Structure 1
Amino acid sequence: MKPHSAIKLDLFADEHHRKKIDSLGDPLVEIESHIDFAALAMEVDRVAPRPMSPQGGRPPYPTETMVRILVLKRLYNLSDEQTEYQLLDRMSYKRFCGLANATNVPDRTTVWTFENRIGEAGAKALFDGVSAQLLQHGFIARGGQIIDATLVPAPRQHNSRGEKGLIKQGAMPADWKPAKRRQKDTDATWTKKHGKSHFGYKLSISVDKKHKIIRRIETDTASTHDNDSQHFDNVFDTSNTSRDVYADRGYPSEEREAWLKENGFRNQIQRKGKRNKLLSECQQRRNKRIAKTRARVEHVFGAIEQMGGKLLRTIGQARANFAMTMVAACYNLKRLVYFEETGIRAL
């Protein structure tokens, strides 16, 4: 195509474009300036050591490069295929991952293999690593904790009644070929919420009221009830400087209220009415007061949804757990960058 007269050709055009991107404000440059990716890579290597490459074989990409790629993938809700394409196409992505002058960039198989190699332990190491950097910047848990859960949909399965029966028994239909089995999520479960059926998984979190940072997470299938004591206990954060514990009406129980009182916590869990025993006006006012604070956790779930974290592309609970943990880690990472860029200091 013949260049238009208004278009000027320049051998240094790429450099001009990079400077223009920086002047407009590249969010990846902001992330890089505030997040210690080398430290995150060390945490991943600690729980999932790099494999030794065979003699004469191509050495694996640096862990830090792959961690940066995983962050890109979750921040922008990319599939493995889209991740490979964007790494080839976008200069800002290549620069962020240290691949600007690289002959080869990790392809979709490399990304998939790395995720499988580090597994849930690697994702948890990244979550803990980001949490540690938040604490290093002084953002400790303050103001009380808010506990809640959200459903994370998975691709719906179209199985016959007989197939569903076998899956519930932990078996696999004999006529399913290996290729079909790989596309069938036999771990995800169904549940009902507000009269609607949902298929997938559940992410339970504890968020501090002051900073809206995810402090603890727990992952499970969708059918797990919010009131499950193990989930509540696993996300309960004892490090918060406030003794207030907020939750919605799906969490109250006599045992829980007794435990909170015995251990010196202030119960800010909404009351739930019963069929033959409606809430009093005083209880309704209390619920309304709690709701104003508890709503802060919905801001967190909203941010996760904007990152695409409320829809899974994966098959099976192990990969679902990995994806949900990575989304939580990337949310906290963005939160730290936001604090640093806006000049908000820990109190």
Structure 2
Amino acid sequence: MKQTTSSITHKKVTTKREAFLNEMERVVPWSRLLKLIEPYYPKAGNGRPPMPMETMLRIYFLQQWYSLSDPAAEEVLYDIEIMRRFAQLELFDDAIPDETTILKFRHMIERHTLSEAIFADINNHLVEKGIRVSQGSMVDATIIQTASSTKNKDKKRDAEMHSTRKNNQYYFGMKIHIGTDVNSNAIHSATVTPANTADITELPKLLRERDRVVFADAGYTSDSYKRGARALGMSWKVNDKRKVGKEMSASQKKQNRKNSSVRARIEHCFRVIKCQFGYQKARYKGLEKNRVQVFTLLGLVNLYMLRGRLEG
């Protein structure tokens, strides 16, 4: 990495942003991700030479961590020295990528579905670093809202998003469904659907062939799935749901509390996505563009949550 200016070198306080980026600098497997992207990245030719590939990948990750649009990403590279340093750029020595260059890199990721490859490669990296994989999964879903206004060019809401009701409140947008490992809580599977998709319908896509136990909240209650899981030799640790006009027994409540003490850890993933990375609203129109961003985010969530073990 290039040397910083003397004013930064001599400062005595490490900001939260700087501490975070220093951690990510150490835990992101840069070399293997660059090798993954390299076949699709533009090569130098007769036209304007492309920006360094690693710089563009670092800017793309900054966009995910700080919820930055393409114009905002260009602006912070001029305004914030710490982010510019993370991107391996010097203000007076290097060309700063403009928003169009940043957009083209993002479109390359979308066009070649590289976000899913990044997600899978990060998970392979975790295994190689000794993150133990269990034979159990926890599953859950969260709603990501999107603009419901019709004050746009088409005079209508996004046709691929839908409304759903939760706790007597309506939301318009999409759902992120994830499966995490019981041992490490690393996200291993994910799907993105309209918000009105029932959680239970995505369950088979979130489990692994080797799984022998599944934890989930009452939204995944299903007698048929329960019988099927037990027929396959799986332990069904899904919370019971109170039936209409009937209270749950003391044993059911006790078992629910026991299951929830394990299952609750999956909520940490959603906290990182929404609070740490600021992904509370969908940025793009349509499910596909948002799905691409979600898979990149989930890979980065795994690195962030397991950074202590990766650095240890």
The two structures have a TM-score, normalised by structure 2, of 0.88
Task: Return closer, same or farther for 1:244/1:76 CA change in 2, 3 Å cut-off.
Answer: same
Task: Return closer, same or farther for 1:91/1:269 CA change in 2, 3 Å cut-off.
Answer: same
Q: How does 1:56-205 map to 2 (within 5 A)?
A: 56-100=46-90, 102-119=93-110, 121-142=113-134, 144-158=136-150, 180-181=153-154, 185-205=158-178
What displacement does 1:182 show?
10
Q: Secondary structure at the match of 2:11?
A: helix
Q: Which string of whole-angstrom CA distances, capped at 9 and with x for unpartnered residues, describes residues 143-180 of structure 1?
A: 73210000011112337xxxxxxxxxxxxxxxxxxx81
Bigger Rg, which one: 1
Which one of the candidate residues 295, 308, 312 is aligned to 1:325? 295
Give yes or no for contact 2:163–2:171 (8 Å, CA) kept in 1.
yes
Alpha-carbon separation, structure 2, partners of 1:257 and 1:187: 31
User: Is 1:224–2:197 an aligned residue pair?
Assistant: yes
Q: Secondary structure at the match of 1:74?
A: helix
Alpha-carbon separation, structure 2, partners of 1:339 and 1:182: 49
Give yes or no for contact 1:44–1:125 (8 Å, CA) kept in 2.
no
Q: Which string of whole-angstrom CA distances, capped at 9 and with x for unpartnered residues, describes residues 99-156 of structure 1?
A: 2265312222222222122217111111112111111111132373210000011112
Which one of the candidate residues 28, 33, 46 is aligned to 2:26? 33
Q: CA RMSD in A?
A: 2.5
User: Is 1:337–2:307 an aligned residue pair?
Assistant: yes
User: Structure 2: 5+ residue runs without aligned partners?
Assistant: none
Alpha-carbon separation, structure 1, partners of 2:20 and 2:252: 45
Alpha-carbon separation, structure 2, partners of 1:140 and 1:151: 29
User: Structure 1: 5+ residue runs without aligned partners?
Assistant: 1-11, 160-178
Q: Which moved more, 1:248-257 or 1:25-34?
A: 25-34
Number of residues of Structure 1 aligned to a counterpart in Structure 2: 305
AA partner of residue 203 (structure 2): F
Alpha-carbon separation, structure 2, partners of 1:299 and 1:27: 17
User: Is 1:234–2:224 an aligned residue pair?
Assistant: no
What displacement does 1:189 show?
0.9
Alpha-carbon separation, structure 2, partners of 1:38 and 1:92: 22
Q: Secondary structure at the match of 1:199?
A: strand
AA partner of residue 147 (structure 1): V
* Equivalent in the alignment of 1:173: none
Give yes or no for contact 1:205–1:214 (8 Å, CA) kept in 2.
yes
Which one of the candidate residues 285, 290, 300 is aligned to 2:269? 300
Q: Secondary structure at the match of 1:60?
A: coil
Task: Return closer, same or farther for 1:271/1:135 CA change in 2, 3 Å cut-off.
Answer: same
Alpha-carbon separation, structure 1, partners of 2:12 and 2:206: 40
AA partner of residue 56 (structure 1): N
Give yes or no for contact 1:244–1:265 (8 Å, CA) kept in 2.
yes
Give yes or no for contact 2:163–2:196 (8 Å, CA) kept in 1.
yes
Q: Which string of whole-angstrom CA distances, capped at 9 and with x for unpartnered residues, describes residues 262-281 of structure 1?
A: 22211101111221443222
What displacement does 1:16 show?
4.2
Alpha-carbon separation, structure 1, partners of 2:117 and 2:100: 22
Give yes or no for contact 2:138–2:181 (8 Å, CA) kept in 1.
yes
Alpha-carbon separation, structure 2, partners of 1:13 and 1:75: 22
Give yes or no for contact 2:175–2:193 (8 Å, CA) kept in 1.
yes
Q: Which string of whole-angstrom CA distances, capped at 9 and with x for unpartnered residues, describes residues 29-62 of structure 1?
A: 322223221211222345xx12456x53113223
Q: Which string of whole-angstrom CA distances, capped at 9 and with x for unpartnered residues, describes residues 294-329 of structure 1?
A: 111112211211111222222221111122222212
Task: Return closer, same or farther for 1:17/1:203 CA change in 2, 3 Å cut-off.
Answer: same
Give yes or no for contact 2:147–2:157 (8 Å, CA) kept in 1.
no
* Equivalent in the alignment of 1:17: 8
